């Protein structure tokens, strides 16, 4: 064991042309490239201007309608609400459909706007849904005026195009902001509710960002498959519904889902600082987000509008994006077999390393303990940072949490600080315990997380399962090398890290956007999980290089946080 440790300490043996700094630079470039690729999926399509052909969705045209009705707050029961209702009714009539008002008297009259475009040979109807009431605080340009405007533009295109096979039901619901009242009234009382084959609901929890599929019906296998075929720029992550259930939010889709309808629920979620505020205005709405909403809406209406919408018993699917708009999907039935495969793979990897005298039981246990301590340290750094922010910036805590120009650098700065400390600790411990043991102990921690997620949150299990598979594969490849501390060894480690980043970073980013740095402790723990992928490199760099890297990251992190928060004092 001791001789093995001594061999793994220098970065490369005897006169190699690659130096410590070169490896470090390459590692940083690989990580940066992987992060960049992982963010490609969050690019919304460019807004299409008004003057394009009438068969194509134009955010420019939709924006013209939005400017007319998303002017003032229009909560249910207000005069401005009546004005918006009348504008939408008139607009739909001018487009050639015959809208009706479904009125339900109560504490405040609920007035759904409903219309139907007949198909040539309808099996069931495709329903496009959003709500037109706003909160009392703001005009609701994004939530959900953007989707209302997208519906008007979509209806215009459908009316001017060849008829679809299936009927299209338009439901612009009322009272969503006060308890999903309009959706409940439609499902319980409107005769068209029984005709719905697919419900497409569009929402907003911010004013910018891509239109993301975040919720489906139970038994979504077919729906996901058709969504991937029908959407020109699909973005979908099955973990989002697990997260959504933990957040205090509901949409009209909740009602449709509980009624047994099939469907898809979309939202853009960036720009949270404007959500439910007076600043949810047309000026603060991203026209690219409006374009993405509209393209999803029109494309999916056309797709589902020309297929047989007979309900079928389906299983659930796991799904997630990789590199742009490529969606990977597989049956949820494979979650448990994948977990079992990883358990067997871990045991095989340990035996493989043990036979090659790379691993020891005590060493791996020490690696697991270090892994747990690293996560606890990350959590405590987050708690400390949160305490400092709360005490120093009491009047500006909300701004730090919701203003992306502040929260982004603060979060990135904290990540740098966490990684700098973990890198130093790993370097020092790596002098006593070889990186194989440290890494294998960390993989045991990952395996425990995979097992928990597979049972409790199967839709989120992929975030941990596939990176673990990459990690175990890379470990076995490293065992096969005569000298793992070599160009081949570092290449294997970097590829494994890059693949893990492609899967985990998009999920981490969406979680960060949804929960903000109010939950920075949890976010930092999730980030620290990734540190294990570069353990075989960090622990074999010379101490001066690791110390230089750590000090640089620490300094950059502190400067980033200070630069973007000090003006708030």
Distance of CA 558 to the CA centre of its chain: 27
249 three-state secondary structure: coil
State phi, psi for 174 to the nearest 5 degrees: -120, 160
State phi, psi for 215 to the nearest 5 degrees: -155, 145
20 three-state secondary structure: helix
CB 66 within 8 A of CB 143: no
Give 395's DSSP letter.
T
Instruction: Check residue 569 and give its pLDDT.
Output: 67
CB burial of residue 7 (10 Å; 0-12, 13-18, 19+) = middle
Q: E-assigned strands of 70-195?
A: 100-104, 110-117, 125-131, 168-173
Question: Cα(529)–Cα(520) distance, rounded to whole angstroms?
Answer: 14
CB 363 within 8 A of CB 432: no
CB 563 within 8 A of CB 409: yes
Give the model confidence (pLDDT) of 121-174 as tens digits.
Answer: 998 999 999 999 999 999 999 999 999 999 999 999 999 999 999 999 999 999
Question: Cα(197)–Cα(226) distance, rounded to whole angstroms?
Answer: 13
Extract the tokens encoding 219. 């038994």
The helix (run of H) or strand (run of E) holding residue 214 is strand 212-216
CB burial of residue 412 (10 Å; 0-12, 13-18, 19+) = middle
Question: Cα(419)–Cα(436) distance, rounded to whole angstroms?
Answer: 19
Residue 526, Ramachandran bin (φ over 0: left; ψ between -120 and 50: alpha; else beta): alpha
pLDDT > 70 fraction of the chain, expressed in percent and rounded:
95
Question: Cα(147)–Cα(279) distance, rounded to whole angstroms?
Answer: 17
* Nearest Cα residue to 433 out of 551, 540, 542: 540
Question: Cα(431)–Cα(415) distance, rounded to whole angstroms?
Answer: 25
Question: Cα(415)–Cα(529) distance, rounded to whole angstroms?
Answer: 12
Extract the tokens encoding 331. 């049956």
- Within 10 A of 498 (CB to CB), how many other CB atoms are there? 18
The position carrying tokens 């394009």 is 52
Question: Cα(453)–Cα(480) distance, rounded to whole angstroms?
Answer: 31
According to DSSP, the residues that pair with 320 across neighbouring strands are: 328
27 three-state secondary structure: helix
Instruction: Check residue 405 and give its pLDDT.
Output: 84
Extract the tokens encoding 352. 């493989």
331 three-state secondary structure: strand
Extract the tokens encoding 519. 């939950």
Instruction: Check residue 108 and give its pLDDT.
Output: 66
Q: E-assigned strands of 42-166?
A: 100-104, 110-117, 125-131
CB 19 within 8 A of CB 541: no
Question: Cα(244)–Cα(251) distance, rounded to whole angstroms?
Answer: 11
Instruction: Check residue 566 and give its pLDDT.
Output: 81
Label the pairing between strands 100-104 and 125-131. unpaired
Extract the tokens encoding 424. 């130093």
Q: Please confirm whether the linkage preceding 144 is cis (ω < 30° from 0).
A: yes
Label the pairing between strands 110-117 and 196-204. unpaired
The helix (run of H) or strand (run of E) holding residue 3 is helix 2-8
* Nearest Cα residue to 306 out of 197, 396, 221, 394: 197
Extract the tokens encoding 295. 């393209």
Which CATH number is 59-323 given?
3.40.630.10
The helix (run of H) or strand (run of E) holding residue 255 is helix 252-258
329 three-state secondary structure: strand
Give the model confidence (pLDDT) of 257-281 as tens digits.
Answer: 999 999 999 999 999 999 999 999 9
Q: How many residues does the chain have?
A: 569
Extract the tokens encoding 474. 């890379």
> How is the chain split into domains, by residue range?
18-42+333-568, 59-323
- Residue segments in the chain with a per-residue pLDDT below the cut of 50: 1-18
Instruction: Check residue 107 and give its pLDDT.
Output: 59
CB 536 within 8 A of CB 439: yes
């Amino acid at each position: 064991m001791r001789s093995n440790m001594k061999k793994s300490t220098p970065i490369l043996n005897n006169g190699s042309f690659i130096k410590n700094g070169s490896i470090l630079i390459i590692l940083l470039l690989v990580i940066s490239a992987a992060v960049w690729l992982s963010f490609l999926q969050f690019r919304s399509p460019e807004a299409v201007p008004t003057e394009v052909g009438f068969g194509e969705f134009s955010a420019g045209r939709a924006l013209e309608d939005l400017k007319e009705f998303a002017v003032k707050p229009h909560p249910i029961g207000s005069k401005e609400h009546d004005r918006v209702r009348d504008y939408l009714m008139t607009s739909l009539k001018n487009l050639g459909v015959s809208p009706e008002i479904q009125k339900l008297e109560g504490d405040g009259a609920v007035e759904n706007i409903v219309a139907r475009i007949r198909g040539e040979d309808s099996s069931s109807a495709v329903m496009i849904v959003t709500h037109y009431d706003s909160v009392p605080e703001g005009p609701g340009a994004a939530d959900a005026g953007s989707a209302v405007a997208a519906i008007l533009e979509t209806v215009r295109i459908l009316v001017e195009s060849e008829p679809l096979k299936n009927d299209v039901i338009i439901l612009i619901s009322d009272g969503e902001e006060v308890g999903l009242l309009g959706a409940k009234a439609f499902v319980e009382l409107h005769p068209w509710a029984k005709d719905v084959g697919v419900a497409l609901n569009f929402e907003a929890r911010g004013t910018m960002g891509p239109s993301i599929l975040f919720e489906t019906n139970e038994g979504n296998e077919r729906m996901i498959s058709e969504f991937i075929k029908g959407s020109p720029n699909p973005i979908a992550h099955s973990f989002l519904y697990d997260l959504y259930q933990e957040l205090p939010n509901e949409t009209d889709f909740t009602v449709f889902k509980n009624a047994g309808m099939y469907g898809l629920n979309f939202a853009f979620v960036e720009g949270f600082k404007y959500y439910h505020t007076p600043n949810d205005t047309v000026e603060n709405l991203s026209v690219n987000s409006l374009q993405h909403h509209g393209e999803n809406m029109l494309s999916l209406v056309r797709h589902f509008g020309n297929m047989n919408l007979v309900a079928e018993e389906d299983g659930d699917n796991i799904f997630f994006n990789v590199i742009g708009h490529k969606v990977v999907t597989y049956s949820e039935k494979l979650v448990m077999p994948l977990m079992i495969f990883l358990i067997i793979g871990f045991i095989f990897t340990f035996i493989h390393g043990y036979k090659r005298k790379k691993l020891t039981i005590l060493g791996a246990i020490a690696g697991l303990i270090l892994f747990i301590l690293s996560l606890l340290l990350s959590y405590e750094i987050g708690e400390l940072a949160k305490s400092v922010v709360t005490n120093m910036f009491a009047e500006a805590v909300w701004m730090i949490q919701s203003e992306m120009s502040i929260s982004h650098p603060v979060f990135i700065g904290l990540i740098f600080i966490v990684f700098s400390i973990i890198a130093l600790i790993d370097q020092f411990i790596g002098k006593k315990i070889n990186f194989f043991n440290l890494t294998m102990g960390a993989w045991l921690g990952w395996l425990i997380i995979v097992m928990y997620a597979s049972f409790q949150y199967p839709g989120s299990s992929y975030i941990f399962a596939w990176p673990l598979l990459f990690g175990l594969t890379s470990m076995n490849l490293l065992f096969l090398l005569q000298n793992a501390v070599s160009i081949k060894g570092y290449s294997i480690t970097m590829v494994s890290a890059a693949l893990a980043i492609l899967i985990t970073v998009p999920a981490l980013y969406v979680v960060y956007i949804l929960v903000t740095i109010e939950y920075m402790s949890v976010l930092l723990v999730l980030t620290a999980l990734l540190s294990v992928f570069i353990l075989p490199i960090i622990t074999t760099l010379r101490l001066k290089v690791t110390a230089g890297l750590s000090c640089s990251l620490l300094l950059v992190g502190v400067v980033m946080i200070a630069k973007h928060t000090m003006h708030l004092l």
